[in-house]
Structure 1
Amino acid sequence: MKLASNRPAPSLLGPVLQNTLPQPGQITIGLVGRGITASLSPLMHMREGQRLGLDYTYHLIDFDRLGLSDAQLPAVLTEARALGFSGLNVTYPFKQAVLPLLDELGPDAAAIGAVNTVVLAAQTMGHNTDCWGFAESFQRGLQDVARSRVLQLGSGGAGSAVAQALLQGGVGGLAIYDTDGGRAQALAARLRDRLGADAAAVDDVTAAARLADGIVNTTPVGMAKLPGLPLAAACILPRHWVADVVYFPLETELVALARRRGCRVLPGGGMAVYQAVRAFELFTGIKPDAVAMAATFQAAVAL
């Protein structure tokens, strides 16, 4: 539908919407982040919406491509709501920055301290589907691995969700390393207070890796826009299992290295699928077919 005189014209989101507005009855979703052009969220959501007979559209709101600053995040949320978006997914680097911009937080988001799904209704409600998404992926891909002690790299929005999933999934002790040591310490303290967990920030990532059964990367290092390894290659040993939350590319440098060394690996695709499954239900009120969404994802990455 072309722009109507009684509705605001898109400003920041004009290039995204291409001078159209969400129509009545249409479910319009956006993904807010940086370096997200390879994301498969639009494909998974729209294919499932089509399968269910919904008028469902999903747009990438890539701050890099749009030339937006981080300070424009509040304006993007305000505009999306005014234009009739039903909801937003939120990814790097905004999962924690979005918190003070919302009216309410669901119990998951409030406990984790990060949001990746925002429902835009009379009140803006933030949720976290990353924790459940990672837990589902881990259960399916690494169910029987040793987990007495795990090293987690990163303590940002994704890291907060993954840390909770790991500890609730039976990890005995969690060592958290971040280049921002204060942020790692704050996450470890929250996990101890909230879950009574054995969680501690560490400064020596090499020593922590030697003690760990498994290593989980929750940093953005490995993304197409941030290539590389999140820790020294020498830290990865054949006895480790290795998980990554990055999924574009699916085979990150970390996953590829660990695979070559004989480690069991869990790429980020599983978390991407299952967090999308839960987000779709929050946006629509309809339970999607997780198998169908996973099949869409697998077909896309196989191309």
Structure 2
Amino acid sequence: MNDEPSLSEISHVPLAGVIGMPIAHSRSPRLHGHWLRRYGIEGHYIPMPVMPEHLAEVLRILPRAGFVGLNVTIPHKEAVLALADVVTDRAALIGAANTLIFRPDGKIHADNTDGYGFIANLRQNAPDWDPAAGPAAVIGAGGAARAVVASLLDSGVKELRITNRTRIRSEQIKSEFGARLVVYDWAQAGNMLEGAATVVNATSLGMTGKQPLRVPLDALSPQALVTDLVYTPLMTPLLAQAQERGCKVVDGLGMLLHQAAPGFERWFGQRPEVDDEARRVVLE
């Protein structure tokens, strides 16, 4: 008797993964692998290095190989929008997608869950956070910052201050997101913090191996919530200094975990729980 699974049985095992270049650093396979084991789901999540020139071909082939969807990271988050058949409003607004769903009808559905993950992380780890309590200050104007800006405005922030080393990128975000944004010069970033109720570092500054974030915190209120999208190290210099001033701080790891949950649910049919065990697995 042959115990090997038939081709038809293999084809029903859902496959998902993450594409990018490079991809070896990604923590997503650990997280999704943990959730698959935890919920006893027969499926696989695979990291795949994909060169930009091969992106369109890969997206055509993977659904035929049993893939139900993908996470997308640098450098493909913008390019996949042009290759998708359906783009959510939030992905279009942000100008990037991090989650693809390969639908049974053959269409590619593109979404961006970064903003959702950002807000879910704040609500889980700072349940008293009130987006309407005062201005938000966002440091950075890249793709992650765009997701943060969109989610903060959607959550009810009435004034959003933004600064970036290249001012024109901040101005571009203001032109797209509207009058609630106020642009500050990089040299005036410290002034931006005065009266801010929510402060976000959406740059890679302060990450292990990167340059430090040199924004003076003299004007930072002890009542402010401070969060950093960087999670290596978990307690960045910004968070450590803010905590010393009495601020509530939230690290960036939860955003990574929460942004992954909607895709996992769509691909594998189970809403996963973001808890201490998931954090531990990703940090191992």
Q: Is the 8 A contact 1:216 1:244 kept in 2?
A: yes
Task: String of CA shifts for 1:22-64, please: whole Å, max 9, x gaps.
Answer: 941222222234565454322221222233332222222356x
User: What secondary structure does 2:275 align onto?
Assistant: helix
Q: How far 1:76 moved relative to its partner?
A: 4.7
Give the structure 2 partner of residue 14 of structure 1. none
Q: Does 1:219 align with 2:208?
A: no
What pairs up with 1:85-164 in 2 under 5 angstroms? 85-121=67-103, 122-145=106-129, 147-164=133-150
Using the alignment, how far apart are the partners of 1:130 and 1:273 within structure 2?
10
Q: Is the 8 A contact 2:13 2:66 kept in 1?
A: no
Give the structure 2 partner of residue 289 of structure 1. 272
User: What secondary structure does 2:79 align onto?
Assistant: coil
User: What secondary structure does 2:211 align onto?
Assistant: coil
Give the structure 2 partner of residue 166 of structure 1. 152
**Match for residue 184 of structure 2 among 196, 202, 206:** 202
Using the alignment, how far apart are the partners of 2:58 and 2:214 within structure 1?
34
Give the structure 1 partner of residue 251 of structure 2. 267
Using the alignment, how far apart are the partners of 1:55 and 1:187 within structure 2?
42
Task: String of CA shifts for 1:101-122, please: whole Å, max 9, x gaps.
Answer: 3222023322333211011341
Give the structure 1 partner of residue 38 of structure 2. 51
Q: Is the 8 A contact 2:91 2:111 kept in 1?
A: yes
Q: How far 1:93 moved relative to its partner?
A: 4.3
Give the structure 1 partner of residue 27 of structure 2. 40
The RMSD of aligned alpha carbons is 2.9
Give the structure 2 partner of residue 5 of structure 1. none
Give the structure 1 partner of residue 279 of structure 2. 298
Using the alignment, how far apart are the partners of 1:140 and 1:158 within structure 2?
20
Identity among equivalent pairs (%): 31
Q: What amino acid is aligned across from residue 287 of structure 1 in structure 2?
A: Q
Using the alignment, how far apart are the partners of 1:217 and 1:163 within structure 2?
12
Q: How far 1:152 moved relative to its partner?
A: 0.6
User: What secondary structure does 1:31 align onto?
Assistant: strand
Q: What amino acid is aligned across from residue 24 of structure 1 in structure 2?
A: S
Task: String of CA shifts for 1:237-257, please: whole Å, max 9, x gaps.
Answer: 462431112234433333334
Runs of 4+ deviating beyond 6 Å: none
User: What secondary structure does 1:246 align onto?
Assistant: coil
**Match for residue 211 of structure 2 among 214, 218, 228:** 228
User: What secondary structure does 1:98 align onto?
Assistant: helix
- 1:269 to 1:179, Cα distance in 2 relative to 1, 3 A: same
User: What secondary structure does 1:110 align onto?
Assistant: helix
Q: What amino acid is aligned across from residue 250 of structure 1 in structure 2?
A: L
Using the alignment, how far apart are the partners of 2:25 and 2:233 within structure 1?
8
Q: How far 1:99 moved relative to its partner?
A: 1.9
Unaligned runs of 5+ in 1: 1-21
